[in-house]
Structure 1
Amino acid sequence: MTPAGVGMGTWARARARVLLALALFAVVLLGAGVPLLSERARCRMFGIGCEHPSGPPPLPAAALPGRQPLTPLEAASQGAYVALGDSFSSGEGAYALPDDLAPENRCHRTSRSYVHTVSRTFEFAGGSRFFACAGARTEHFFTSKAGEPPQVEHADAGTSLITLSIGGNDLGFTKVLAGCILALPWSGACQGQDAGLEARKPVLRQELTRIVRSLRERSPRARVILLGYPRLFGEREGAALDNLGVADQRWLNAQGKELNDLVHEVARAADGELAQQGAPGSVEFIDVYSAFTGHEVGTGVPYVNGLDVDLSAFKVKIHSYHPNAAGYTALAELVTRQVRQGPGRPLNQWR
């Protein structure tokens, strides 16, 4: 529509001159550094100045309509359960079937390990796999033991739950116990091993951190749960046991507590990084130090085996100072509870 009395050609020429003038004015303003439109507006209207795709940024998964956070149990069971670690996870010390002590069972994975309870209690979409190996040290997460692949290789992108106990063999607790038992009473030889333990702890911390990072890289959505170790001896006034005086028992308990604290610190640091990054999964720690309270070595109903020596070979039997069936049942209760409860923070996974 044109103003009355103005021809179509005349109006078109006038409008063109006005638009040209406005364009020239815009060029002057832009040359002076005066923005006429925001970057987003220029991008939307003219397709220029678009450093990012036009339109608002995509919503995070948690904010998408209909998305609900997974419960800790849902996050743990959406894939496969992989059980790794040393003898306190393999089930050493509790035997019920012939296969538990069969020569070909070189990792001593037994039918009474807490792992079986976890596998039976929850339905894992990817099934369960059991690779804990008695005698394992942190190095065996990256190198072969008993003819088996490195333990980290059993974890993959489909793994949603990993449990493990590791570190006791790195600190040489079996040798430390043997040194205490074989020492002359009141000789001080037991607690004299303290310097060697302290020297090995920084190395263990580094290797535990390496294990956790490797498992997280291979299984980025998994909940990784590290177990500590139970206290072997009572904390009340007691008596000598297996050539171990009360002071030696307390020293051994204290060393076990320090090991647990070290594992806990590694897990807490790793999980803190994940939480800060908003990454899926978790690194958790189960404090089992007091799991055998009232049922330590020498009590009426112990959850742990005491010293057992093969006198003909003058050799300590392998189940000594390992949990018995009741002990693994107690550990299973703590693990299943942790699987249900989770780390106490969002897991950054949704359905």
Structure 2
Amino acid sequence: MAKNSGGGCLVVVLVVGLLAFGYYKWQHGSSSAAPEGVETGGGSGRYVALGDSYTASPHTGQQVGFPGGCLRSDDNYPHLVSADLKPAEFADASCSGATTANLTAAQKTSNGTNPPQLDAVTAKTTLVTLGIGGNDVGFLQLASSCATAHRTASPCKDRLTAGGHDQLAAQIDATAPKVGAVLDKIHGKAPKAKIIVVGYPTVLPDGDGCWPVLPVGAGDVAYFREALGKLNKMLEDQADAHRAGYADTATPGKGHDVCTASDTRWVEGVIPSLHAAPLHPNARGEQGMADAVLGVLKLPWS
């Protein structure tokens, strides 16, 4: 009996220790400036969404908001999160094509100018989601030039890593302090806000891809898959370093990449089969991203 009792105590100690460690990891990566009792939902609080086209979600639903050139849809993940939480106020400032610079400076679009996205963040703001960085790195612009007639080719990797210098990795490193500076500005404008950095979902599958449906050679598929992983790791690290939470959308998005069936995929291919922009999340993907954000909000947060 004594032996069993000791073993039970050991299990309890281990469980409590693991829970405490998990709680610490979340606290370390969350907004410690958010005081107890400040909530977003149930008719209270102000939720502001900031981000690029993966946040705005062009063509997945009915276009909403101004300017029209931002191509925000009414079923993007911010709208889905807002519908679930039901805050007193909700502002979606996201805009297709946005970079970190457009969070503090106006963005001209093909149809109107979007004000600096941070203008939507006020002292009353209690929740901010931020999905940004991909356009700073230039992922979509680069991907559009990688089409090849050869299944195993890697024209983009060969060009972007010539001379032993990885241009994509360098761009990711250069974007890190820009993301960190934005998070600091959000804290300064909204000291009561919880901030969640939203990562990018899984776009490319493990393995060689699905050439010619996705006309990118195996070498470039591997190169861009690894680079997107580095981008998400950078975003997670910046969230951790600047008192924000991180919504991992890549892990739940595995098995829902551009090469999967139309009733499974979260991200459309070069020629979308569902309503979405090429190489962007469809409505199913936006729901998956919303679920990731809502999951983070359920974790302990001081």
Give the TM-score taking structure 2 as reference length.
Answer: 0.76
Change (3 A) 1:186 1:234: closer
Between the aligned partners of 1:199 and 1:185, the Cα distance in structure 2 is: 27
Partner of residue 58, structure 2? 92
Cα displacement (A) at 1:79: 2.2
Q: 1:299 aligns with which of 257, 260, 264?
A: 260
Cα displacement (A) at 1:236: 4.7
Q: 1:167 aligns with which of 133, 139, 150?
A: 133
Between the aligned partners of 2:290 and 2:66, the Cα distance in structure 1 is: 26
Paired residues of 1:183 and 1:189 also in contact (CA < 8 A): no
Amino acid at match of 2:191: P
Identity across matched positions, percent: 27
Partner of residue 239, structure 2? 267
Between the aligned partners of 1:83 and 1:162, the Cα distance in structure 2 is: 6
Asked if 1:75 corresponds to 2:39, the answer is yes
Report the secondary structure of 2:134's partner residue: coil
Between the aligned partners of 1:288 and 1:178, the Cα distance in structure 2 is: 23
Q: Can you list the C-alpha shifts for 1:83-140, whole angstroms capped at 9, x where unaligned?
A: 1110111112513x3x36x995110101220111111111323x11111001000000
Asked if 1:111 corresponds to 2:77, the answer is no
Q: 2:192 aligns with which of 209, 212, 221?
A: 221
Q: 2:101 aligns with which of 139, 144, 150?
A: 139
Between the aligned partners of 1:294 and 1:202, the Cα distance in structure 2 is: 28
Amino acid at match of 1:320: P
Between the aligned partners of 1:209 and 1:294, the Cα distance in structure 2 is: 30
Question: Structure 2 regions of 5+ residues with no counterpart?
Answer: 1-34
Report the secondary structure of 2:146's partner residue: helix
Cα displacement (A) at 1:185: 5.2
Paired residues of 2:257 and 2:266 also in contact (CA < 8 A): yes
Highest RCO, 1 vs 2 (Cα 8 Å, sep ≥ 6): 2
Mapping of residues 301-316 of structure 1, within 5 Å: 301-308=264-271
Question: Could you say what the CA RMSD is over the residues aligned between the two structures, in angstroms?
Answer: 2.4
Amino acid at match of 2:195: V
Paired residues of 2:131 and 2:199 also in contact (CA < 8 A): yes
Q: Please tell me whether Structure 1 or Structure 2 has the larger radius of gyration of its CA atoms.
A: 1
Report the secondary structure of 1:76's partner residue: coil
Partner of residue 298, structure 2? 340
Q: Can you list the C-alpha shifts for 1:193-212, whole angstroms capped at 9, x where unaligned?
A: 24221222232011111100
Report the secondary structure of 2:250's partner residue: coil
Q: Can you list the C-alpha shifts for 1:41-74, whole angstroms capped at 9, x where unaligned?
A: xxxxxxxxxxxxxxxxxxxxxxxxxxxx736xx5
Partner of residue 3, structure 2? none
Partner of residue 285, structure 2? 327
Partner of residue 91, structure 2? 129
Paired residues of 2:122 and 2:189 also in contact (CA < 8 A): yes
Paired residues of 2:77 and 2:290 also in contact (CA < 8 A): yes
Paired residues of 1:87 and 1:134 also in contact (CA < 8 A): yes
Question: Structure 1 regions of 5+ residues with no counterpart?
Answer: 1-68, 272-282, 310-316
Report the secondary structure of 1:320's partner residue: coil
Paired residues of 1:93 and 1:323 also in contact (CA < 8 A): no
Between the aligned partners of 1:303 and 1:222, the Cα distance in structure 2 is: 29
Partner of residue 154, structure 1? 120
Partner of residue 183, structure 2? 212
Between the aligned partners of 1:206 and 1:167, the Cα distance in structure 2 is: 11
Asked if 1:257 corresponds to 2:229, the answer is yes
Partner of residue 220, structure 2? 248
Paired residues of 2:45 and 2:125 also in contact (CA < 8 A): yes
Between the aligned partners of 1:121 and 1:212, the Cα distance in structure 2 is: 24
Between the aligned partners of 2:209 and 2:173, the Cα distance in structure 1 is: 33
Paired residues of 2:148 and 2:217 also in contact (CA < 8 A): no
Cα displacement (A) at 1:177: 0.6
Paired residues of 1:76 and 1:222 also in contact (CA < 8 A): no
Between the aligned partners of 2:156 and 2:171, the Cα distance in structure 1 is: 17
Between the aligned partners of 1:122 and 1:103, the Cα distance in structure 2 is: 23
Change (3 A) 1:160 1:302: same
Cα displacement (A) at 1:290: 2.1
Report the secondary structure of 1:235's partner residue: coil
Paired residues of 2:49 and 2:129 also in contact (CA < 8 A): yes
Paired residues of 1:76 and 1:223 also in contact (CA < 8 A): no
Paired residues of 2:202 and 2:251 also in contact (CA < 8 A): yes
Cα displacement (A) at 1:263: 0.6
Aligned pairs, how many?
252
